[in-house]
Amino acid sequence: MFHWLRNRRRRKLLAEPFPPWWEAILVRNVGHYPRLSIEQQARLRDTTRILFAEKYWEGCGGLHITDEIKLTIAGTASLLLLGLDDIYFERVPTIVLYPTAFRSPIQEDNWEDDELSDTEKDGMAVYRGAVLLSWQEVLAECREPEAGYNVVLHEFAHQLDFLDNEINGTPPLANPAMEATWHTVMQAAYDRHRMMLDQGADTFFTPHAGDDETEFFADATEAFYCRPADLQDEEPGVYSLLEAYYRVDPRAWFR
């Protein structure tokens, strides 16, 4: 019954016209949006509308949540769902925003800064929970996809990884053959990255990607959407896997 009511509510929501001033925000703040095909833009608008309506949005550190904030984040997160069916980050009930970088907070203190933590973050994904983001970082990176980094894509990629109830850098995959290929290719790329870090060499992925496999997957997702040609050149096997998983080819957006 719950699924039927949710789907009915979504159909009613999508039957309404998409406000022109909402689309103007997508054009201005989601740098990928103007690059998409007409069909992809339509799908992104639909997914954005659902995420906008179904998530609870919370501002901390004095930040007031506006429609612009919601649309920028929902629109960017929707890029991950262009080729994925019936996924709307249902396990993410809340999106928490801070004006700038924040110290690792906990839900028990209403996501205000944890005074015991000295670790500053621009984003954080909670297993079966919230996504926390710095609005300053979100706005800068979402407007300039060619800069190569995007904290929204990174943290929501973690949420895709969590869908199989494991934190291992492997989201739910289509079949056992793809799972086997994924493990072989991604593990080899991760190991190469770790080896280069240990040698002090320059790396394509960030040092943070060497922390573990889940950070490597999130970092690779950022590269896939923001530096697709570079990722294809650097790690063609990783690119092919992500293309098969996300069912889009971002190289077409940057030609």
Distance CA 217, CA 231 (A): 13
Residue 86: predicted pLDDT: 86
Residue 240: predicted pLDDT: 97
Distance CA 11, CA 17 (A): 12
**Cβ atoms 97, 55 nearer than 8 A:** no
Residue with tokens 């994925």: 84
User: Cβ-count burial of 46 within 10 angstroms (0-12 exposed, 13-18 middle, 19+ buried)?
Assistant: middle
Q: Report all structural domains of the chain as residue ranges with CATH numbers, in order of start.
A: 2-147 (1.10.472.150), 176-253 (no CATH)
In tens, the pLDDT along 89-138 reads 999 999 999 999 998 776 666 656 655 566 789 999 999 899 999 999 99
What whole-number percentage of the chain has pLDDT above 70? Answer: 94
Q: Which of 9-18, 21-30, 79-88, 150-159 has the lowest mean pLDDT?
A: 9-18
Distance of CA 65 to the CA centre of its chain: 19
pTM of the model: 0.94
Nearest 10 degrees: Cα torsion 143, 91, 217, 51? -20
Distances (CA, A) of 61 to 71, 100, 134, 236: 20, 9, 10, 42
The pLDDT mean for the chain works out to 93
